[in-house]
Chains A and B, each alone.
Chain A
C-alpha cells in the first residue's frame, strides 16, 4: 500500500502550507475583502437566519396538505405546491433547520474522531498508526455514497442512521490530514525543545502541536460542511435518509423526479442545497487562500 499515502494523503505543498500558517496569518485580513468571501459569509449567515427563523417567516405549515396540488408558483405560493398540496417555499425554509444543524453535527463528530485518531497515529506511530491508517484505507477504498448506502441499509433508513453512516465514512479524511501535519512537525525544533524542557507527550501534543494543526483542519471542516450537506441530501434523495413527510431537501428533489413536469417541486430545494453548499465552499476557499496564499486547492472529498 505504498501508494495509498501518495494517492489520498497530503502533498508536500500542503505540508509546506501548514508550516507557512504562522507566517501568513498577518495577511488574513485582506482576503475578507474579496467579493467571493463576502458572498460566502453573507449567504451562510442568511441561511443560518432562515434556519432559526423558519417557523416565523414560512408563509405556511410545511406539513399541511391542501387540495391545491401541483400549483405553479404564484403570489400566495411563490415556489408552488407539491404533489400533496404542501407549500414548497415553506418546506424549503424549514429544510434549513434539518440539513444545516445535522451537517455541523456530522462534521463536528467526524472531525473530533478523525483528529484524535489521526493525532494518536501520527504522534505515536507503530501499531496505532498501522491500525488507524489501514482502517482509513478500507473506508477510502469504497466510494463514499456506496459505503454510506450499505451502512444505512444495514441499520435501517432514517435521518439519524444516515448521519451515523456519514460519520463512519468522513472521519478518515480528518485523520489523514492531522496525521500528515503531525508527522511533518513532530521533528521540528520547537517540539524537541519542549521535550527537553521535560514536557509530557500530552502537553507537547496539546500545547505545541495542536495549535499548528488547527488552521488546516478548520479550513477542511468548513469545506466539509458543504460536502456533508451534499451527502446527507444524496442519501435522503435515495430514500435512505429523511422519511416522509420531513421537509428535507434531498427527499424533496426525489419528490420532484416523480413529477418532473411540475418543475418547481424539485428545482427549488435543489437550489437551496446549491446555495448553502456554495456558501460554505466560498468561505472554505477564502480561508484556504488566507492560509496558503500561493494556491487554492481542490476539494479533497468525494461525493
Chain B
C-alpha cells in the first residue's frame, strides 16, 4: 500500500526490475505458505490427537472397540500407539513425500479422496464467485448511483435479507421449489445418475466434458451447478453489494470525479474508468474474503445437494474423528487461504498501478 518510492526506485521498477520484484514477492508468499502450513499441521495435529474423543470406537463401533485384539490391531495399524510427537514427525515425513495417510472412514488415501472432493467444491465455488462479482458489484453500483432512490432502498433490504437468510434453509427451500415442485432443477449430485463423469483432466466436470468434446455432458454438469452456486452466492452477493455501494459513494465525492465531469467526459466513462476502477481495490479484498465464506457455505449446502465436495468430506471427517482426513482438509484450507490472498494482492497491482508489488 506504500506510495511510490523515489525516482530511482521507480526507474528500477519500470525496467526489468518489476519482474524480479514479482518473483521475490511470490517467493516470499511461498515461504509464508510453508510456514503457515507447518503451523497449521502442528496445531491441527496436536489438537486432534489430544482431544478427549476416541477415534477407535468411532471407527470400529462400540461393539468391536471393546474387543482388545481388534482395538490393538487398529491402533497399531494407524500408528496411534506411538507418542504424539513421534506420530507428528512420521506424519510430516510422509507429507514431504506427498502422502497424507489413509482415511479411516473411506479406507482410501486422503490425497485420493481430496483429489475428487476439491475440484467438486472448486467448480461450484468458482461459479458462485463469478455470480458474486457480476451481480454484487452491479447491485452495489446501481444503488450508489441512485442513492436514496427506491432502487437503493429495495437493494438495501434485499442485501440485508441476503446476509440474514440461513444458507442451509435457503438451500432446502430452493431444492424443494425448483426440484420437487417445479422439476426445473436436477435432483442433486454433479451429474444425472445415468451419466459417467468425463475423463479426469482438471476435475471440473464442465471443463473436462468440453475438453472431451461432449457438449451434452457439459450442459448437464452446468444444470447441476446452477442451483447450489446460486444459493451459495446469496450471502456473498449481498455483502459485496453493500460494500460496493459504500465504496463507490466514497469515490464519487473525490475531486478528480468532479474534474472528470467538469471536463465534460461522458458519464459512462466517468463511471467505468474513474469511479469503478478506484472503488475496485477494497472490493477485491472483500471478494477474497468471500471465498472463505463460500468454503463455509459449502459445508451446509453440499449436504442438501448431495455434492461430493470438501464440505461434506470435512463434515464426515470431523464427526468420525478421522484424523488424517481432518489434517488433509486443514492443509487444503490453509493453502486455499494463502493462494486467494496472493491472487488478491496481484489483482491490486492490475487495478491500481500505484500499488504494484515491490
Residues of A within 8 A of B (CB): 1, 3-4, 6-8, 11, 13, 36, 138, 140-146, 149-150, 152-157, 226, 230, 233-234, 237-240, 250, 253-254, 256-257, 260-261, 263, 266-267, 269-270, 273-274, 277-278, 281-282, 285, 294-299, 302-303
Q: Flag if B164 contacts A234 (CB, 8 Å).
A: no
Chain A: minimal CB distance from B3 (Å): 14
- Across-interface contacts of A285 in B (CB, < 8 A): 156, 160
Q: Flag if A270 contacts B169 (CB, 8 Å).
A: yes
Q: Flag if A153 contacts B321 (CB, 8 Å).
A: yes
- Across-interface contacts of A260 in B (CB, < 8 A): 172, 175-176, 180
| Given contact pairs A6-B1, A253-B166, A142 touches B333 in the complex (Cβ within 8 A) | yes
Among A1, A13, A234, chain B packs the most CB atoms within 10 A around the CB of A234
- Additional 20 contacts, C-beta under 8 A, given A237-B168, A266-B169: A7-B285, A146-B333, A149-B299, A149-B314, A150-B47, A150-B326, A153-B319, A154-B47, A154-B51, A155-B51, A155-B52, A230-B166, A239-B319, A250-B166, A256-B172, A266-B172, A269-B169, A274-B164, A296-B246, A303-B293
- Across-interface contacts of A257 in B (CB, < 8 A): 172, 303-304
Residues of B within 8 A of A (CB): 1, 32, 36, 39-40, 43-44, 47-48, 51-53, 156-157, 160-161, 163-170, 172-173, 175-176, 180, 235, 239-240, 242-243, 245-246, 249-250, 282, 285-286, 288-289, 292-293, 295-297, 299-300, 303-304, 311, 314-315, 318-319, 321, 326, 329-330, 333-334, 337, 341, 344-345
Could you say which of A13, A141, A298 contacts B286, with CB atoms under 8 Å apart? A298
Could you say which of B286, B293, B326 contacts A143, with CB atoms under 8 Å apart? B293
Q: Flag if B295 contacts A146 (CB, 8 Å).
A: yes
Q: Flag if A234 contacts B314 (CB, 8 Å).
A: no
Q: Flag if B337 contacts A145 (CB, 8 Å).
A: no
- Across-interface contacts of A277 in B (CB, < 8 A): 164-166
Could you say which of A3, A237, A240, A295 contacts B249, with CB atoms under 8 Å apart? A295
- Across-interface contacts of A253 in B (CB, < 8 A): 166, 168-169, 172
| Given contact pairs A260-B172, A278-B161, A302-B293, A154 touches B282 in the complex (Cβ within 8 A) | no
- Across-interface contacts of B299 in A (CB, < 8 A): 143, 145-146, 149, 238
Q: Flag if B176 contacts A226 (CB, 8 Å).
A: no
Bound complex: CA of A281 vs CA of B289, how far in Å? 20
Bound complex: CA of A269 vs CA of B172, how far in Å? 12
Bound complex: CA of A146 vs CA of B142, how far in Å? 34
A240 nearest in chain B by CB position: B319
Give 24 pairs: A residue, B residue, CB < 8 Å, sorted on A: A4-B341, A7-B285, A7-B341, A7-B344, A138-B40, A141-B334, A149-B318, A154-B47, A154-B48, A154-B52, A226-B163, A250-B166, A260-B180, A269-B169, A270-B170, A277-B165, A278-B161, A294-B250, A295-B249, A298-B240, A298-B242, A298-B246, A298-B286, A303-B167
| Given contact pairs A7-B285, A270-B172, A281-B163, A298 touches B344 in the complex (Cβ within 8 A) | no
Bound complex: CA of A149 vs CA of B318, how far in Å? 7
B326 nearest in chain A by CB position: A150
Bound complex: CA of A238 vs CA of B315, how far in Å? 8
- Across-interface contacts of B240 in A (CB, < 8 A): 298
- Across-interface contacts of A157 in B (CB, < 8 A): 319
Bound complex: CA of A230 vs CA of B164, how far in Å? 8
A233 nearest in chain B by CB position: B166
Q: Flag if B289 contacts A302 (CB, 8 Å).
A: yes
Bound complex: CA of A141 vs CA of B338, how far in Å? 8
Chain A: minimal CB distance from B250 (Å): 6
Bound complex: CA of A155 vs CA of B300, how far in Å? 20
Bound complex: CA of A68 vs CA of B4, how far in Å? 73
- Across-interface contacts of A141 in B (CB, < 8 A): 36, 40, 333-334, 337
Q: Flag if B341 contacts A3 (CB, 8 Å).
A: yes
- Across-interface contacts of B333 in A (CB, < 8 A): 141-143, 146
- Across-interface contacts of B330 in A (CB, < 8 A): 142, 150
Bound complex: CA of A13 vs CA of B44, how far in Å? 36
Bound complex: CA of A3 vs CA of B341, how far in Å? 8
Q: Flag if B289 contacts A295 (CB, 8 Å).
A: no
B157 nearest in chain A by CB position: A36
A145 nearest in chain B by CB position: B296
Bound complex: CA of A152 vs CA of B40, how far in Å? 18
Q: Flag if B36 contacts A270 (CB, 8 Å).
A: no
| Given contact pairs A143-B292, A143-B333, A270 touches B166 in the complex (Cβ within 8 A) | yes
Q: Flag if B246 contacts A295 (CB, 8 Å).
A: yes
- Across-interface contacts of A269 in B (CB, < 8 A): 169
Bound complex: CA of A54 vs CA of B47, how far in Å? 40
Bound complex: CA of A267 vs CA of B160, how far in Å? 20
Bound complex: CA of A274 vs CA of B239, how far in Å? 16
- Across-interface contacts of B243 in A (CB, < 8 A): 297-298
| Given contact pairs A138-B39, A146-B329, A234-B168, A267 touches B173 in the complex (Cβ within 8 A) | yes
Bound complex: CA of A238 vs CA of B297, how far in Å? 12
Bound complex: CA of A73 vs CA of B213, how far in Å? 50
Q: Flag if B249 contacts A294 (CB, 8 Å).
A: yes
- Across the A-B interface, the 10 shortest Cβ-Cβ residue pairs: A270-B169, A295-B246, A302-B293, A153-B318, A298-B243, A154-B51, A143-B296, A277-B164, A145-B296, A298-B239
Bound complex: CA of A7 vs CA of B245, how far in Å? 18
Bound complex: CA of A44 vs CA of B53, how far in Å? 39
Q: Flag if A296 contacts B169 (CB, 8 Å).
A: no
Chain A: minimal CB distance from B37 (Å): 10
- Across-interface contacts of A267 in B (CB, < 8 A): 173
Could you say which of A7, A146, A273, A303 contacts B235, with CB atoms under 8 Å apart? A303
Bound complex: CA of A141 vs CA of B172, how far in Å? 28
- Across-interface contacts of B175 in A (CB, < 8 A): 260
Chain B: minimal CB distance from A194 (Å): 31
Q: Flag if A145 contacts B300 (CB, 8 Å).
A: yes
Could you say which of A13, A263, A273, A294 contacts B166, with CB atoms under 8 Å apart? A273
| Given contact pairs A146-B333, A253-B168, A297 touches B1 in the complex (Cβ within 8 A) | no
- Across-interface contacts of A145 in B (CB, < 8 A): 296-297, 299-300
